[in-house]
A and B are shown apart, each in its own frame.
Chain A
Amino acid sequence: MKQKINHTCFYALVFVVVFLSLLPYLWFLNTSLKTPIEITAIPPKLFPSGSLEFYISAIKEYNLMHFVKNSTIVASLTTVITIFISICAGYALARLRIRYKGFIMGSLLLVSMFPQISIAGPVWRIMQSLGWLNTYQGVIFPYVTLTLPLGVWILASFFKELPEELEDAARVDGCSHFQALFKIIVPLSAPGVFTATILVFIYAWNEFFFALLILTEKKYQTLPVGIALFQGQYEIPWGEIAAASTVATIPLVLLVFFFQKKIIRGLSAGAIKG
């Protein structure tokens, strides 16, 4: 009996926590499916009529897909570049005999500790002098820099866990260091690689501050900036903002669902000795 009560309490608590975390998302999902009249109705309507009016308007009037395209380009390139550099750097820091490894790892961590606002000025100046304001590389470059510590730390710790003999075996089998890394070490560190990929992608996809600062032309603006600027001088298009926010969240939800499977598969495949 006591166990049953414990069980019920546990699940009730889990439900409350999950519900509270999802509440904002559910709220704007709900809003996005209402009609303009439903949004301002008093008393508010709990269940929307399921209208797609705002989605159509967000795409047609506010050019939503343009921002989706920009965000996809920026987030994907950031992820690919960061993960590639992190793999190489993580491997070097995990395996090669390098002096001052602890110092290097420590300074990487330090870089990620600066508040964004404190480096905003210098970053803007650098981008300006490079002529990279209002370009994709103008945000990709700072994003890579800011996400690298995370990637390197995750991957270095994964690579360290793998037995060195696997790499030795690959080298004797005829691989170069580089081949051994990409044919043996990286596939075996799949969970780490996927975790880093998800985190970096989410960061780059959601980043607002630098994007707002560097991308002032609509042509290059990413989703968060685009959505924030939906707001006109005289009106706040709540419905379209909600619809755009829903669209902005979908790729991340899909990404996590898709990679979750990979992470579990990667974990079971990583069993070295049984």
Chain B
Amino acid sequence: MSVIVKNLTKSFNGKKVIDNISFEVSEGEFCILLGPSGCGKTTILRLIAGLERQDSGEIFIDGKEVSNLSPGERDIAMVFQSYALYPHMNVYENMAFPLRVRKLSEQEIDKKVRETARLLNIEELLKRKPKELSGGQRQRVAIGRAIIRNPKLFLFDEPLSNLDAKLRILMRVEIARLHQKLRTTTIYVTHDQVEAMTLGQKIILLNEGVIQQIGTPEEVYNEPANLFVASFIGTPPINLLEGIIEADTGGIYFKSGDIVINLESLESLREYAGKEVTAGIRPESLVPGQGPFSGIIEHIEYIGAEKILYIIPAGKSPSNRVDILGPKITIRTTSTFQGGRGESICFSVDTSRIHFFYKGLRII
């Protein structure tokens, strides 16, 4: 069942939270609404659910305009951040609740509850109250309550943010597996880019109520539409260098302070010659070892399979070296990298993987 959102706008107390947003989620797709907190992603979800009314715009679920329908009439299911299990009912009753509201027979209810419990591996918890469950178990029950009536659309509102790191990864895999099995159209809100990248088939990246980019995880990572997307996606974050494009008969260069990058393969940048641009370089596009650039290792983070190096680029003026907030470069490298804090290092850059932004928008 597809979802189409057209020109959605919503204000709270005169402040625009959602500003003319349109997007489409096709049937069976797992779509992520990603963005920093306060960007309006949860509001969009609540508008789709019918828990809020939009100021203007239309929402179509399965081809039908649903703006005037109550949440119960939209045939959707939602999983909340706090799980929102009914504390006075046991697990069985929690999962049976949406079916009871729809007046299914006891027999049918019992059958469905047991089927769903088996699917989620919570059969032995059916008689327990929510307060007797762990975070992960509560999450499963909340998902169970959502999937039990085969809704047209699943809405997830940051469902994993209350879980600890290990459980979050486990549940992430489980949600992905569940989606593969059920193939129900899903809209999933998160501020966690790792969740977004691993779960999503489509990512809608939002900032301050405006869509920044819509694309696959690969697209938003490899072809960020603007500076916000480039800096929001990726850990450690992308290196951003402000500088000028210089072109002469000899070639094209990007100059940022003392750093000069030769861009001979990027002929299309010639038209930006003399203009101020921002270069975005992913930490993995920099390779330590040989290379035209040098700096001093300020800090090393060891993360098992890899190391993150924080480099103060070498410059002519010595003040650069003590400037803590000055430009720094992050390099992602293998854990076999030898070198310690305070040592100088040379590195090269894969110029084909540099992103250039002019006035905040991507040019290459």
Contacts and interface: CB of A to CB of B under 8 A. Distances in A.
Interface stretch (B80-88, B181-189, B339-347): B80-88
B78 interface: yes
A171 B49 CA distance: 9
Interface string A146-178: 000000000000000001011011111111100
A172 B101 contact: no
A273 interface: yes
A271 B87 contact: yes
A165 B84 contact: yes
A57 B121 CA distance: 68
A188 B88 contact: yes
B235 interface: no
Given A168-B78, A169-B78, A271-B131, A174 B84 contact: no
Residue among A166, A173, A270 facing the most chain B CB atoms (10 A cut-off): A173
B144 to A, nearest CB: 12
A171 B81 contact: no
B98 interface: yes
What is the interface of chain A mostly: helix, strand, loop, or mixed? Answer: helix
A169 B88 contact: no
B131 A172 contact: no
Interface residues of A, number: 22
Nearest to A272: B87
Residue among B82, B87, B97, B98 facing the most chain A CB atoms (10 A cut-off): B87
Contacts of A179: 101
Contacts, number: 69
B152 to A, nearest CB: 13
B34 to A, nearest CB: 21
A168 B87 contact: no
Contacts of B86: 166, 169-170, 184, 188
B145 interface: yes
B77 interface: yes
A273 B82 contact: yes
B40 to A, nearest CB: 17
Contacts of A270: 87-88
A172 B77 CA distance: 6
Contact of B131 (A166, A175, A187, A274): A274
Interface in B63-118: 70-72, 76-78, 80-82, 84, 86-88, 97-98, 101-102
Contact of B81 (A165, A176, A274): A165
A165 B71 CA distance: 13
Given A273-B82, A274-B131, A171 B72 contact: yes
Contacts of A170: 86, 97
Interface of B: 46, 49-51, 70-72, 76-78, 80-82, 84, 86-88, 97-98, 101-102, 129-131, 145, 155
Given A165-B82, A172-B51, 9 more contacts: A163-B84, A168-B71, A170-B86, A171-B70, A172-B78, A173-B77, A174-B71, A174-B102, A184-B86
